[in-house]
Amino acid sequence: MKTRATFFRKTKDSLMRAFSGFATSMALVLMAWVIFTIVREGHSSISAELFLNASKPFGEVGGGIANALLGTVMITAGAAALALPPALAAGIWLAEFGKDSLLARAARFTVNVMMGVPSVIVGLFAYGVLVTTTGHFSGFAGSFSLAILMFPVVVRTTEDQFSGIGDALRESLLALGASRARSTLTVIWRAARSGVVTGVLLAVARVSGETAPLLFTALFADTWPTSYFSGPTPSAPVLITSYTMDSPFESMHRIGWSAALTMAVILLAVNITARYFGAKRAAKRK
Amino acid sequence: MQKKKYKIETKRLNFFYGDHQALFDNDLSIEANKITAVIGPSGCGKSTHLRVYNRIFELHRGQRAEGEVFIDGKDILDPGIDLLDLRRRVGMIFQKPTPFPMSVFDNVAYPIRLHFKASQKEIAERVENALRGAALWDEVKDKLRESGQALSGGQQQRLCIARAIAAEPEILLMDEPTSAIDPVGTLKIEELMDRLRERFTIVIVTHNMQQASRISDTTAFFYKGSIVEVGPTKLIFTNPRNKQTEDYVSGRFG
């Protein structure tokens, strides 16, 4: 039988490869474009004062973003404190014990739905249950809304990490006479830990930049975040939004861009840290 | 003929994966301080049978065993049995070495801390004894604090053996313990097993017929979930009664 000419197959192969290579490089170009723009717009007003002073009321020249950065740290840390314990426990339960049970399947479905809920709806919900009822905005209400966004992501990532551990390890633990709970909390947790840490860091980084929920809950303040539980609390994402969009003053635009640059650098650092943990884990597996 | 005392006596054991029956009326008696090899083609139920002895199969939904398995005269399939104690007494080594993500020392100390009230000094002594017992001490005595996962495959498997014997079991189940290990590592493990038989009753599932004939006292041949023939290893390999056994041990199928 005559063989088919390979010319067309080879051509198709190179075209396909060229196209995928181009598509992949688009990701890099986009990232570079974003960073380039933020650096161009934001670098000029980076100064020590920016990181030491609280912001000033609308229209006043000067002022920093330190209060907003601190507020973001507080709100995000509060969200992590609220979301992580139940999310880790739920993820572990789903992977180790729930498996295919009815409750587990229902929970998994709910978590998937929760991941798709727009943050503006979560913000409105938090506004409804924590702001209108108490009569004041608060950083805590902001944490609550971010916790709701963080919860499903951490559940999923935890379940994935625990499910990724082969049954061989579980069986060898049980074969030694360890109980399910004990083996899960000692050895299985150790094996899953770095992957979970990576996922948690990424989830924290993700929600720390959320703006919509905070507009409904933490609002903003030109003061240091001293009333986390009882009053408006500044945050970087809200500062960026309001300084660049709502203000007619050029000096405020600059500060907004600088805050964006600062957030980008911090989040990049968190991401790299998270990847580092992930890479260490991958290296260990080999 | 004088009645022998058996360590493990299996009577009419049937096993199911959901609706699929994998073992059919297995009867098998295993003598204490002997090595019993379980051989047979892939999928014949050897591992399934072994995994009943410590009820490890219960980790998985839908698997169930019916019948009786007596260890020292007590039916371990009885739901009232203390599983954690059963598994301390019946250790298991798996096909792939599974060192825990912790140091060599902590790997071996794990079952000791789990089952015994021991001081730090006693733990250290027992760890050393277990590692010596698994013929690994000389190779790891200077790296007890290093990760168990950094050892070679054969060393990892002996680490798992050390960990298993640190729980002071009476029976060791070995499920193809050398199939993922290189020939040198395999040889070391076989030599080790020869020494371990003095202290433990060993049941080994193996694909390697030379291994079965080299190390075991008794051999059981499984085929399609049934036990076709059991007997002294020499007899099984030189003069089996059953045609299927003969075909298998002479390499005609399997």
Chain B residues near residue A165 by CB distance under 8 angstroms: none
Range list of H helices, chain A: 7-42, 48-52, 66-93, 102-115, 119-126, 139-163, 167-175, 180-183, 189-208, 212-217, 236-241, 250-285
For chain A, what is the domain count? 2
Domain-embedded: residue B1: no
Residue A3's pLDDT is what? 82
Within 8 A by CB and 6+ apart from A193, the residues are none
The domain that holds A229 is classified in CATH as 1.10.3720.10
Domain-embedded: residue A2: no
Chain A residues near residue B47 by CB distance under 8 angstroms: none
- Contact indicator for B249, B236 with CB cutoff of 8 Å: yes
d(CA B225, CA B177): 21
**ipTM associated with this complex:** 0.92
Structure tokens at B1: 């003929």
Q: Does B100 touch chain A (CB under 8 A)?
A: yes
DSSP codes of every residue in B26-65: EEEEEETT-EEEEE-STTSSHHHHHTTTTTGGGGSTTEEE
Nearest-by-Cβ selection for A168 from B87, B96, B167: B96
**Statement to judge: residues A101 and A27 lie in one domain:** no
**Statement to judge: residues A37 and A69 lie in one domain:** no
Chain B residues near residue A171 by CB distance under 8 angstroms: 56, 59, 92, 94, 98
- Contact indicator for B167, B159 with CB cutoff of 8 Å: no
Domain-embedded: residue A140: yes
pLDDT at A282 over 70: no
Residue A85: phi and psi, rounded to 5, are -55, -50
Query: How do residues B120-164 score in pLDDT, each as one tens digit?
Result: 999 999 999 999 999 999 999 999 999 999 999 999 999 999 999
**Statement to judge: residues A97 and A169 lie in one domain:** yes
The domain that holds B175 is classified in CATH as 3.40.50.300
pLDDT at A285 over 60: no
> What's the domain range around B75?
6-249
Residue B168's pLDDT is what? 95
Chain A residues near residue B164 by CB distance under 8 angstroms: 175-176
Average per-residue pLDDT for chain B: 94
Query: How do residues B31-87 score in pLDDT, each as one tens digit?
Result: 999 999 999 999 999 999 999 999 999 999 899 999 999 999 999 999 999 999 999
Residue A286's pLDDT is what? 45
Q: Which residue of A has its CA nearest to B101?
A: A191
- Quick check: helix, strand or coil at residue B203? strand
**Statement to judge: residues A161 and A278 lie in one domain:** yes
Domain-embedded: residue B232: yes
- In which band, very low, low, confident or very high, does the pLDDT at B186 lie, cut at 50, 70 and 90? very high
> What's the domain range around A25?
7-45
Structure tokens at A96: 């180790």
Domain-embedded: residue A1: no
Q: Is the dihedral of CA A194, A196, A201, A202 positive or negative?
A: positive
Domain-embedded: residue B31: yes
pLDDT at A280 over 80: no
**Mean of pLDDT values over A65-78:** 97
- Quick check: helix, strand or coil at residue B88? helix
For the stretch B117-134, what's the b/e string if a residue is b when 16 or more beta carbons lie within 10 angstroms of its beta carbon? eeeeeebeebbbebbebb
How many alpha carbons fall within 13 Å on the CB side of residue B77? 20
Distances (CA, A) of A238 to A59, A207, A269, B75, B115: 17, 13, 21, 68, 56
For chain B, what is the domain count? 1
Domain-embedded: residue B254: no
Structure tokens at A73: 């740290």
Q: Does A191 touch chain B (CB under 8 A)?
A: yes
